[in-house]
Amino acid sequence: MRFLTVLMCFGALAFAVDYVQADEPKKSDKKAQSLNFKLKDTDGKMFDTAKMKDKLIVLEWIEPGCPTCRRHAKEGSVNHLVKKYAKKKDVVVVGICTSNRTDTAAMKAFAEQHKLGYKILMDPTGQVGRQFGAKKTPHMFIIKNGKKLYEGAMDDDARGRKPEAERVSYISKALDEIIAGKKVSTSYTKPYG
């Protein structure tokens, strides 16, 4: 009986450890196959990451029905990134709409309404979303040559309570480190949305 109790305790401990780490990417995920993809934007033009050798590609999973995406669109959070890195020819920012609820016309209207200064790609089957493991909106990624350099939240203000100037922009921090030739100090944060 004592052996069974000890065995159950170890089982519960193993479950707890697995549960706590559930949001962390598995080590095997980091060595996954290439994350290159092709998707059409809201104008019907093909966007192919394989043709963007040595570019830093910032991906924002976006959905007009998401309150957090609407807040960031209204604040211009991603537009500020686009503006900050406009002179850096090696930085490309795009949004990806992985939703069967939002068609191209609705996504285009949302982008125009909020004057989003970057392309929005349409992923209606969810194939690219599954490839990346994107489960929230916004869920942010930085990739280069098909490899993930950052995944997670846009910033450290999930509730939107801090003034933008006081937020830590994980995307900006990672881009600055990469451009400076440094390793990304925080390559994963928990996405919110």
How many CB atoms lie under 10 A from the CB of residue 29?
11
35-179 CATH pick, 3.40.30.10, 3.40.50.300, 2.40.40.20, 3.40.50.2300: 3.40.30.10
Q: For 99-145, how does the pLDDT look when each residue is reduced to its tens digit (9 = 90+)?
A: 889 999 999 999 999 999 999 999 999 999 999 999 999 999 999 99
Lowest-confidence segment of 25-29, 84-88, 170-174 by average pLDDT? 25-29
Q: What percent of the chain has pLDDT over 90?
A: 78
Q: What is the pLDDT of residues 43-59, one digit of tens each?
A: 999 999 999 999 999 99
Q: Is 128 helix (H, G, I), strand (E, B) or coil?
A: helix
- pLDDT digit string, tens, across residues 57-104: 999 999 999 999 999 999 999 999 999 999 998 999 999 999 889 999
Q: What is the mean pLDDT of the chain?
A: 87
* DSSP one-letter string for 151-172: EE-SBS-TTS-S-GGGS-BHHH
**How confident is residue 32, by pLDDT bands cut at 50, 70 and 90?**
low
C-alpha 30 chain-centroid distance: 15
Q: CA-to-CA distance for 142 and 175, rounded, in angstroms? A: 8
Q: Please report, for residues 6, 7, 8, 13, 30, the alpha-carbon distance to residue 1 in angstroms, rounded to integers and kept in the order given.
A: 9, 10, 11, 19, 42
Q: Is the pLDDT of residue 23 over 80?
A: no
3-state secondary structure of 13: helix
* Sequence spans of domains, the chain: 35-179
Q: What is the pLDDT of residue 164?
A: 85
Confidence of residue 2 (pLDDT cuts 50, 70, 90): low
User: What b/e sequence results for 67-81 when a residue is b if at least 16 CB atoms lie within 10 Å of its CB, and e otherwise?
Assistant: ebbbebbeebbbbeb
- Residue 66 is predicted with a pLDDT of 96
